[in-house]
Amino acid sequence: MNRVKCLVLDVDGVLTDSRIYFTDDGREIKAFNSKDGHGLKLIMRAGIQVAIITGRYSKALEYRVKDLGIEHVIQGSKDKTASLSELSQRLGIDPGEMAYMGDDVVDLPAMKLCAVSIAPADAVEMVRRKADIVTDLPGGQGAVREAVEIILKRMNLFDVVMERYVV
């Protein structure tokens, strides 16, 4: 796994628990896991880029990615393979140097193109079967943090990133 230069994430079911909340006035609300957020900071600190491809548009996501410093976001994707290709060209990183984390069948074509495919524990069965890595934790509940730690450990970067926390 020494060649992962970018971690690409789906949102609903990966960064969230798949539930979508709407207020009475129609505003969408999403819950994001703070441990996942710190995990994304850790992987970026290790020099690995983070990108997001999602089929929905969400103002809540815009706030979250800004807070985390994630610059590469494609919302409203109707074809995640085409979006992955666009992202690859934009970043100058081949999909064979990317890891992709998704939870539903719409993610499978893009996952297949990447060096590493990851699914949260509660992904649909077909995605879990085809993923290289299936986390123990479900989406929105630490699965992204778990995936980040797996990637960092396999790339021998975990201890280096953790040095600032270990006294």
**Alpha-carbon gap, residue 146 to 136, rounded angstroms:** 8
State both tokens at 84.
């992955």
Summarize pLDDT for 55-103 with one digit per residue, the tens. 999 999 999 999 999 999 999 999 999 999 999 999 999 999 999 999 9
> What is the per-residue pLDDT for 1?
64
Span 124-150, average pLDDT: 98
Summarize pLDDT for 22-47 with one digit per residue, the tens. 999 999 899 999 999 999 999 999 99
Mean residue pLDDT of the chain comes to 96
pTM of the model: 0.95
Domain 6-159 indexed as CATH 3.40.630.40:
no
Asked if residue 150 has pLDDT above 80, the reply is: yes
State both tokens at 163.
């040095």
Q: Which residues contact 10 (CB under 8 A, 6 or more apart)?
A: 52, 53, 54, 80, 101, 102, 103, 104, 107
Q: Where are the domains of the chain?
A: 6-159
